[in-house]
Amino acid sequence: MRLYSDGVTGLWRSVWNAPSAAPPPPRRVWRDWVLVALLAVLAVVEGILRTDLSQPMLAVIPLLAVVPTVLWRRTRPLLMLVIVFVVTVPTDVLLPDSTLYTSLFVAVIIYALFRWGSGRDLVIASAILLASLGLFFVRGSGLDDLIGGFALLLTVSLLGIAFRYRAGSQQRRLDRIRMLEREHLARDLHDTVAHHVSAIAIRAQAGLAVAERDPRAAQNALGVIEVEAAKTLSELRSMVRVLRQGETAELAPSPRLGDIEQLAGSRPDGATVTVKVAGDDAGIPPPVAAAVFRLAQESVTNALRHARHVTRVDVLVEADEGGVRLSVVNDGDVAASQAPGFGIIGMMERAALLGGTCQAGPAPGGGWTVTAVLPRVGWAP
């Protein structure tokens, strides 16, 4: 029994301390103003046309006073719900035959509360809603009205919770994708730094071995060490904020721009991938080259996997003094939903971490295109 009590207490505490939904809701959009205007018009029209209202003015005025609460329903849902109930419930209790159908707009606020409110807000709001149902039942509402009101509140609340869970799940997937991209970049950094440090160690050992009999060779070794150390520091500075999970790094060589040509060829389904690498790719930092390779690889994979009726995928890589530009165009049919998928979001994150940009969308002449621009020096803090 003690164990059960502790479990209930822990569950209650976790619900009470639950934070607001993430990501934060939009403060206000144009549709909110349209909703306010529409509710105000409906309330006035209902007050004029309905002949069964004993006090139309006393029904319309309080409702018009609380209609603007929908503007803050996402950011302050509990406060807006309390305002609505404090203003409208006395009228509904004292004049039960003057209740407007438009007052059902409170369901919008209840949805917003369960969609974005904190755990404390949900507990307090649930108590308020149940108390209001009990009040109307005591006032004389029938059992069928009580069941109907409870069913409406339960439906709206569950709908808000469902969309809250869906948004939270999607946000967690986005966070995981961003972290994986940072991990991949950190792995590339590890490979690059390991290469430079290995060169420094070898040169240092050689310099020590010949220092006594050939001082000039030792000086040359120190020059090489200086260059390699400068490269290493440059790579570290360019990606100092890239996070990495506690996972053993892969020691495979980082892909270069030339490796993108490996993507070219015909596929079993008949699609052809063409690759062209142009410009001066000398001096492109390994993390930037690896990022361009992975962006091209992901774009080609997405085109072959998701585009319909694709027959050709063209990959163009151009390198110059400013950086690297990547363009991947396929001739497949564009899907009805053009919202970016998690793969494209990951590509955008990788490009942004290196100080570049990545965009994806329908091509002007049909098909789909992915374009990315990464600076030569990479991202620097």
DSSP letters along 10-74, please? HHHHHHHTPPPPSSPPPS--HHHHHHHHHHHHHHHHHHHH-SS-S-HHHHHHHHHHHGGGGGGTT
Q: Give the model's pLDDT for residue 269.
A: 75
Cβ neighbours for 81, distance < 8 A, ≥ 6 positions apart? 106, 109, 110, 113, 125, 128
Say yes or no to pLDDT of 215 above 90. no
Question: Would strands 323-330 and 368-375 be described as parallel, antiparallel, or unpaired?
Answer: antiparallel
Give the pLDDT mean for 208-228: 66
CA end-to-end span of the chain: 57
Q: Tokens 């039942």 appear where?
A: 137
Phi, psi at 53, each rounded to 5°: -90, 125
How high is the pLDDT of residue 251?
Answer: 41
How does pLDDT run across 47-99, given as a tens digit for each residue?
888 888 888 888 889 899 999 999 999 989 999 999 998 888 887 777 777 78
Check: pTM over 0.95? Answer yes or no: no
**Greater pLDDT, 36 or 186:** 36
Q: How far is CA 95 from CA 56, 137, 197, 263, in A?
A: 10, 15, 83, 75
Q: What is the pLDDT of residue 294?
A: 84
* Residue 379: per-residue pLDDT: 43
By CB neighbour count within 10 A (0-12 exposed, 13-18 middle, 19+ buried), where does 285 fall? buried
Mean pLDDT of the chain: 77
**Residue 358 β-bridge partners:** 372
